[in-house]
A = this chain, B = another copy of it.
Amino acid sequence: MIKERVKMEVIGLEIPLISGNEEYTLAELISKYPLEENDIIVIAETVVSKSEKNVILKDTIKPSNEAIELSKKLGKEPEVVQVILDESNETVRLGPNFIVTETKHGFVCANSGVDESNTSKGIKPLPKNPDKSANEIRKGIEEITGKKVGVIINDSMGRPFRKGSCGVAIGVSGVCGLWDRKGEKDLFGRELKTTEVGIADELAATASVVMGQSDEGIPLVIIRNAPVPFKEGTGKELIRKKEEDVFR
């Protein structure tokens, strides 16, 4: 009457803290884990940014007048606001203590995804090119292990209409980003009602359940036996163009 059809595993891994001064690459580090063919590796963006030394030293930032004005409204340090502005194409909305921007990558998110909890060392933007980072990590892993894998770089973002952050895929390689199911039929031979699935976002959210907060020490998650297409995908294909969005 009830039959098991799929059994997917979601494995949360602790790794050493990444500073950017490691003598190994992320691909080398991840390959130490006994990976299997078609594993999907989800990595918290913060780890990727740090490993790429994408951290801006606070005393090198000269806040503009615009950043200083905005910083008062938002209750943020002018240096942080300057980085948020530098990382953005445009401001989409101004909230009580956040700015929603479109980032240079095209993501619409709060504060350009810039990590506000800056350490003494600096302020951390999102990785510069998450699809490229995901691709490099994947190629590295495949070279070392000889196994075909997928790589997703995820981040937690807030959303309109719904409270709470949710994991999304900002970089994708080796696995489908947006799953186009147009033309497929359901059990009754009818066209599927949902034709485009944000599958990499759902996988990113899956990993986020296990990561909790990446700073808890589980910034790396392996998703094994996921029933998803392993055709080439990107994080970019998940971005809705401004002119196709009724909320822009």
Residue positions of A touching B, CB distance < 8 A = 1-17, 29-30, 32-33, 93-95, 100, 107-108, 115-117, 119, 156, 159-168, 178-179, 181, 184, 186-188, 190-194, 196-199, 201-203, 205-206, 208-210, 212-213, 215-218, 220, 226-228, 237-240, 245-248
Contact = CB atoms under 8 A, between A and B. Distances in A.
21 contacts: A1-B15, A2-B13, A2-B30, A2-B220, A4-B12, A5-B12, A8-B12, A10-B10, A10-B206, A116-B193, A156-B194, A160-B160, A160-B245, A161-B248, A162-B201, A163-B196, A165-B196, A192-B215, A193-B213, A205-B206, A209-B226
Oligomeric state, in copies? 2
A23 to B, nearest CB: 12
For the complex of A and B, 6 pairs with smallest distance between CB atoms: A164-B198, A186-B215, A6-B12, A205-B205, A160-B247, A108-B161
Contacts of A197: 156, 164-166, 208, 212
Contact of A32 (B2, B16, B179, B199): B2
Residue with the highest number of chain B CB atoms closer than 10 Å, among A108, A119, A215: A215
Contact of A205 (B29, B202, B238): B202
B186 A213 contact: yes
Contact of A163 (B190, B203, B213, B237): B237
Given A6-B11, A247-B247, 19 more contacts: A1-B15, A4-B13, A6-B210, A7-B11, A8-B9, A8-B210, A10-B206, A12-B227, A93-B247, A94-B246, A115-B193, A161-B240, A162-B201, A164-B178, A167-B205, A186-B216, A187-B217, A188-B215, A190-B215
A226 B212 CA distance: 10
A198 B6 contact: no
